[in-house]
Amino acid sequence: MNIPKIHSISKKILVGALGAFLSFFLLFHASANLLILRHDDGEWYNAFCHFMGTYSIIKVFEIGLLAALLLHAILAIWLAVINKMARPVSYKKPTRSKTHTGSKLQVWTGILIFACLILHFTDFYFVKSGWVKGKYMTKAEKVVALNATQPDAANYAEQHGKYSAKGNWLTNFDKEDKAFLEAAGLEVEPDFYHQAREKFKILHIVISYLVFFTVVWFHLRHGFAAVFQTFGLYNYKYSRAIEILGQIYTWGVCLMFTIVVIGVYFGL
Ligand code: HEM
């Protein structure tokens, strides 16, 4: 089999470009998650998730995002292996360069993020496909409409579900309810608001997410400046500004994630 050869510089540029794209996603993800702190029975957060899961253009983005994540990881590890093979014996005098230590750490924090993401997906993303147990919801108006043709199924939905604050959704269904309601022709989707509010009440889950965010902090702290370096923009003129922007971005994203988890735990 012919494996296409990619020059190391191209790999590095690709890793940087994908990293920049993932950073935008992370800022978007962290900001949107703040909606979990609203006490509105999930009206806003679930409406946002519903929007994200409805339109094909966003579904294409979702596939692109997961592909970017995978490619970013594969290329970064590949580069690290090539670098290691080029210099199998370490330098006699250990380097004290901050960049060198940072990029060595980058591979390990990247691998840890991957492991954390698998756990994160079992908490949320895989609920969508029904691979793990979770909470589900359906549009209330669809249940009302079902009353005319399948009163038993509509009755079941009303008895097992709970109306959201504004009555737009019937929520709180489990996996078995989901199967029953789908068989009756209802569209059922994950109720990520109640899912998050339930998960972040459990101490060991809160702790594991805080560890996750700490690893993300380390990864972003180095990654932010590294992207500018890869594209040749990190020079004496801009380095200070890039450092400050990097600090604001890294702390901003990680604090937004943290506020949600801690906030829910303490009943905010
Ligand atoms: C408070 C912390 C977090 C919460 C409550 C949260 C919540 C969620 C939820 C509900 C989904 C599923 C969304 C959907 O499919 O419609 C999701 C997906 C995802 N999350 Fe998070 N997340 C958190 C932190 C993170 C962090 C720190 C990362 C990465 C470092 C991350 C990366 C992802 C990715 C890659 C996906 C799948 C992409 C997608 O939905 O298209 N999340 N998260």
* Average pLDDT of span 231-253: 88
- 123 and 103 belong to one structural domain: yes
Does residue 184 fall inside a structural domain? yes
Would you say residue 2 lies in a domain?
no
Residue 53, ligand 1, Cβ within 6 A: yes
Domain finish residue from 146, 168, 190 = 190
Measured by CA distance, the residue closest to atom 41 of ligand 1 is 62
Q: Is the pLDDT of residue 93 over 70?
A: no
- Asked whether 262 lines ligand 1 (CB < 6 A), one says no
Question: Looking at beta carbons, which pairs linking 259-264 to residues 24 or more positions away fall under 8 Å?
Answer: 259/34, 259/37, 260/33, 260/34, 260/36, 260/37, 260/196, 260/200, 261/200, 261/206, 261/209, 261/210, 261/213, 262/206, 262/210, 263/37, 264/36, 264/37, 264/196, 264/197, 264/200, 264/201
What is the domain range of residue 26?
Answer: 8-88+98-128+197-265
- The reply to whether 43 and 109 lie within a common domain is yes
Q: Judge if 112 and 42 occupy the same domain.
A: yes
27-67 per-position pLDDT tens digit:
999 999 999 999 999 999 999 998 887 877 888 888 999 99
Tell whether 238 and 142 lie within a shared domain.
no
Give the atom of ligand 1 at the shortest distance from the alpha carbon of 213. 27
Q: Is residue 83 part of a domain?
A: yes
Q: Do 17 and 145 lie in a common domain? A: no
Q: State which ligand 1 atom lies nearest to the alpha carbon of 125.
A: 12
Query: Which atom of ligand 1 lies at the shortest distance from residue 36's CA?
Result: 5
Give residue 83's pLDDT.
79
Other C-beta atoms within 10 Å of 13: how many?
A: 15
C-beta separation of 123 from 198 below 8 A: no
Mutate to test the pocket of ligand 1, among 29, 117, 199 (most ligand atoms within 8 A of CB): 29
Residue 180 C-alpha to ligand 1 middle, in angstroms? 27
CA 204-205-206 angle, 5° bins: 90
Domain boundary among 166, 190, 214: 190
Please, which pLDDT band fits residue 1 given cuts at 50, 70 and 90? very low
Indicate if 213 and 259 belong to the same structural domain: yes
143 shares a domain with 109: no
User: pLDDT higher for 234 or 79?
Assistant: 79
Per-residue pLDDT tens digits for 131-166: 888 999 999 999 989 888 899 999 999 999 999 888
148 & 124 share domain = no
In a domain, residue 93? The reply is: no
Q: What is the pLDDT of residue 13?
A: 87
- Say if residues 137 and 173 touch (Cβ distance below 8 Å): yes
- 121 shares a domain with 146: no
| 49 Cβ below 6 A of ligand 1 | yes
Residues 169 and 235 in one domain: no
Identify the pLDDT of residue 55. 78
Burial class (CB in 10 A: 0-12, 13-18, 19+), 204: exposed
Instruction: Read off the pLDDT band of 102 (50, 70, 90).
Output: low
Handedness of CA 56, 180, 45, 255 (dihedral sign): negative
Residue 202 falls inside a structural domain: yes
Q: Whose CA is nearest to atom 23 of ligand 1?
A: 257
- Residue 209's pLDDT band, with cuts at 50, 70 and 90, is very high
Strands (E), the chain: 136-139, 162-163, 169-173, 188-190
Element (H, E) at 7: none
- Kindly tell me if the per-residue pLDDT of 245 is higher than 50: yes
Write down the mean pLDDT value for the chain.
87
Question: How many domains is the chain partitioned into structurally?
Answer: 2
Greatest mean pLDDT among 3-12, 88-97, 100-109, 198-207 lies in 198-207
Residues 201 and 185 in one domain: no
**CA–centroid distance, residue 29 to ligand 1 (Å):** 7
118 and 60 housed in the same domain: yes
CATH assignment of the domain containing 252: 1.20.1300.10
